[in-house]
């Protein structure tokens, strides 16, 4: 028969368990505190509107476009997690509240509903839209954050119903100055729509 007193732990045993748990917790906090910053591709919507984001990039299997991320006004969203796999990324953004878009001369596939599309050739023939994305050059960085801003902060005032003339990003023109339409700064053969 078990005596009722034997069911209770001694104060010494409880202190040992508590001390052990506190030590494990302290080690866990120290490891998390010293972890390196995440290397992600992020977009911050610094506008007063909700925006829809489509992203294009080249991974180990070739060109891919994805969408839609819905980003609230004055909010940020991680589009890709982990260390960047490419130098150039391409973005197309829609202003849901006031109309207009941020676009460019790199044509890739998209569609109105959520999508992941492999390849950038023959968009229309494959049943997709052919959309102009603007280029983001991340250099050799492991992580990057795009700052999407009001078009009025960057250039001429926007006329309602007419797309913004530039992507609204500091230092991010649609094409390098003096470059022909469709130029993106990428070496020939790596442009979207061209086979490597």
Asked if residue 84 and residue 57 are part of one domain, the reply reads: yes
Asked if residue 122 and residue 63 are part of one domain, the reply reads: yes
Asked if residue 132 and residue 103 are part of one domain, the reply reads: yes
pLDDT digits (tens), the chain, 196 positions: 545 554 455 554 445 444 444 444 444 334 334 344 568 999 999 999 999 999 999 999 999 999 999 999 999 999 999 988 889 999 999 999 999 999 999 999 999 999 999 999 999 999 999 999 999 999 988 899 999 998 644 433 333 333 333 333 333 333 222 222 333 333 333 334 333 3
pLDDT at 115: 97
pLDDT at 53: 97
Asked if residue 131 and residue 65 are part of one domain, the reply reads: yes
**Residue 92: inside a domain:** yes
Side-chain-side CA neighbours of residue 82 (13 Å)? 3
In terms of C-beta density within 10 A (0-12 exposed, 13-18 middle, 19 or more buried), how is residue 111 classed? middle
pLDDT at 142: 87
Predicted TM-score (pTM) of this structure? 0.61
Buried b (16+ CB within 10 A) or exposed e, 149-168: bbbeebeeebeeeebbebbb
Q: Is the dihedral of CA 153, 157, 160, 165 positive or negative?
A: negative
Distance between CA atoms of 41 and 73, rounded to whole angstroms?
Answer: 18
How many structural domains comprise the chain?
A: 2
Asked if residue 137 and residue 56 are part of one domain, the reply reads: yes
pLDDT at 49: 95
Phi and psi at residue 108, to the nearest 5°: -140, 175
pLDDT at 140: 83
Question: In this structure, are residues 41 and 88 in contact, taking their beta carbons and an 8 Å threshold?
Answer: no
Residue 17 belongs to what domain range?
Answer: 8-33
pLDDT at 165: 35
């Amino acid at each position: 028969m078990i005596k009722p007193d034997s069911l209770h732990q001694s104060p010494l045993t409880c202190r040992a368990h508590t001390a052990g748990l506190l030590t494990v917790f302290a080690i866990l906090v120290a490891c998390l505190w010293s972890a390196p910053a995440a290397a992600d591709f992020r977009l911050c919507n610094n506008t007063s509107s909700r925006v829809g984001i489509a992203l294009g990039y080249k991974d180990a299997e070739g060109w891919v476009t994805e969408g839609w991320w819905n980003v609230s006004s004055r909010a940020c969203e991680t589009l890709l997690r982990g260390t960047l796999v490419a130098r150039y990324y391409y973005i197309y953004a829609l202003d849901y509240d006031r109309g207009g878009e941020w676009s460019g001369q790199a044509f890739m596939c998209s569609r109105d509903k959520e999508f992941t599309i492999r390849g950038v050739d023959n968009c229309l023939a494959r049943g997709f839209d052919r959309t102009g994305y603007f280029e983001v050059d991340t250099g050799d960085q492991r992580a990057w954050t795009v700052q999407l801003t009001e078009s009025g902060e960057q250039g001429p005032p926007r006329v309602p119903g007419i797309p913004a003339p530039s992507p609204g990003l500091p230092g991010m023109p649609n094409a390098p100055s003096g470059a022909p339409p469709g130029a993106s700064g990428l070496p020939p053969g790596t442009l979207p729509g061209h086979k490597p």
